Copies of this chain bind each other. A is one copy, B any other.
């Protein structure tokens, strides 16, 4: 953001569309579920998008996913009319990234493949292009090993589906330039996302590690017959989910401590929680017995509804929640 006259901090571009005016050409590399969802979101924000994917059926799949995403985008207040006018499918990687201001990569989670991919992208993209990887598993430092200039590559890891869930985890590599981190934050913010910059590169980042930690106990409780899958899901949707949509775990325990706050919590409930950590939590594995049990229970719990029905229900409820939160929070200043 060094050009004169352009915003120089993420805050300056937060409310306006400046950042999307300067970064209006996107390349989507790899158009599976994540890439297609990004495509829908970018298009709904007025960007020109070139998509490339080796799957000969990719274009049909992407258009199908955009069609499915359209009601959600509309419900979130985004325009969807005419979005296909700004969408192009191209066969060639060099063609996809030529002229791109933003490259969002969603390729297979293989280190060697990504290293080679970014090296190729670097050779064809304009010098100002920002390189963002959707990877959930590979660090930017590792992925950038074959690049000439690794300063503009970083992780922009969404939570599925990216067109709906606000979080984007921004994880710079060791050589990522601070300015590129700011640019990525400004870019995702302009898309209505909530980018969060991690202070350290760590495998799994934050959200997936938290999810895995809780899911371990979920599997333990279901596999040991304490509750069925649908019952466990119901416990979560009627307690922890709404709680954590309103406030995260730390502020929740800060408030759970009453007037004594988090210090009271640590003193009075900390030892009990430590005891649960060390002595109570289960350590299941996906062995054959557990896997068989889980799949049977899944069929019992959700087998009478199709994936499409359940997904439509989830998206509808999530949109309702996100809109309720957006309408209930103090509006950020537009100055």
Interface residues of A (CB under 8 A from B): 33, 137, 159-160, 165-167, 169, 194, 196, 198-200, 202-204, 206-218, 221-222, 224-256, 258-259, 261-263, 266, 270-274, 276-278, 280-281, 283, 285-286, 291, 294-295, 298, 301-302, 307, 310-311, 313-314, 316-318, 320-325, 327-329
Contacts and interface: CB of A to CB of B under 8 A. Distances in A.
Contacts of A228: 199
A223 to B, nearest CB: 12
Given A167-B239, A208-B276, A215-B253, 5 more contacts: A210-B235, A215-B273, A230-B250, A241-B248, A246-B318
Contacts of A258: 33, 307
Contacts of A310: 247, 251, 254-255
Given A261-B298, A327-B320, A248 B235 contact: yes
Contact of A254 (B252, B298, B328): B298
Contact of A235 (B196, B222, B283, B325): B196
Contacts of A318: 242-243, 245-246
A249 B214 contact: yes
A271 B291 CA distance: 12
Nearest to A137: B272
A211 to B, nearest CB: 6
B277 A212 contact: yes
